[in-house]
Structure 1
Amino acid sequence: MKIALIGASGFVGTAVLNEAISRGYNVTAIARNPANIKITSNLVTVKKADVFDIDGLVSVLKGHDVVVSTYNAGWENPNLYQDFVKGSEAIQSATKKAGVKRLFVVGGAGSLEIAPGVQLVDTPQFPAEYKTGATAARDYLNILKKETELDWTFLSPAILMHAGITDGRTGKYRTALDTPVFDANNESRLSVEDLSVAILDEVEQGKFIKKRFTAAY
């Protein structure tokens, strides 16, 4: 399998790249700043691309079996909302133009429902510093749901998925569709390494085609 990984230098992208290499996949690691990709392997080809340059992105994506997007417009970006939605739509468009059928998008947990019709991002306790990015990911998911040509999948990580979760790679996780997965301590949490396991498992198995899912311990 040939994987095109967008955002390969980021927190999630780096973990996905490591997991893909461990499974023996050929990966085109794509980033705005390729020098930030520190992983070297004969399975990895590093490419520079700007998601807003659709034609340039098309040329990089051609010939792959799947596009995995861990695109992040930058938490400090003053145009975070607009850039995330625009960039995500550009990736979606470029994937189609490149003739790649499978698109996997890593989004956010904010669109998960904690009660019928109530999404996490709309609750008072949702952290204000993440609200703009989470709202952008939620709104892009609604756009992606209208996509009919691609075999797309959207993954909402666990509510708690950050560098402070140090479980490493256990290979264990549980899934749901639109509601968070909670453990015995009523926490929705997952390490970035196990998030990557869930991503590559879905790329291989295709259980959630044209669906959103979430994964946590």
Structure 2
Amino acid sequence: MAPKTRARVSKRSATSGQDDDGEAAGGKRKAAAPVESAKNPESSAGARCCHWLMKSEPESRFENGIDVKFGIEELKALPDQTGCWDGVRNYQARNFMRQMKDGQLAFFYHSNCKEPGIAGIMKIVKEAYVDHTQFDKKDVHFDANSKPDNPKWSMVDVQYQRMLKRFLPLSELKKYHQQHRSKGGPLKDMALFTRARLSVQPLTPGGWRHFCQRFSGATRSEPSLCLSFLSSFCRRV
């Protein structure tokens, strides 16, 4: 991937990767730059998962004088609509990112805002590599306990794909989750509610399919992103 302008575009909070809804989840992102990829062992959960939900903050919030705002429109505005998902400082969220594979898809979730919810779809375009912000003393995510010869934190590169046909708010997600819990359905164990504090979460095959079929925004006049996503997914499982 060609180097991108490394403007200070967005930044996650120091506790990012662990949040509530309307929780802090955002991330101050930079345009992606090539860095040597990190190799990490996959857990059984990661081996089963091909789709994700990743949270970030679309509204301004200042941390140490830096605005951590980074919504899907900010990702869309970056060169090649691609940026690095930096600043995650929760081990489970980090481990999920280390399990991500090039080409996998994720929902971009707006968090810690007036109306949290799923805004669109992005694609993993570079697998986990060292998050450089952990070594930057001027960065809100600086970690004095992380050393260059033994880095603790990783990030991935993501690329904007499309908006959903309509914004899917948390209130509606809760309704589906409650319905599926009582009657059975693919969203009954959705991590957004069972592991709500994580800013990087896996999606079950049924959960991804449920949302794509309803909210992908695919039309008959174009190759269906929803169907191509699902066919790609089905080849993986």
> TM-score scaled by structure 1?
0.30
Q: Which has the higher contact order (CA 8 A, sep 6+)?
A: 2
Larger relative helix fraction: 1
Taking structure 2 as the reference length, the TM-score comes to 0.28
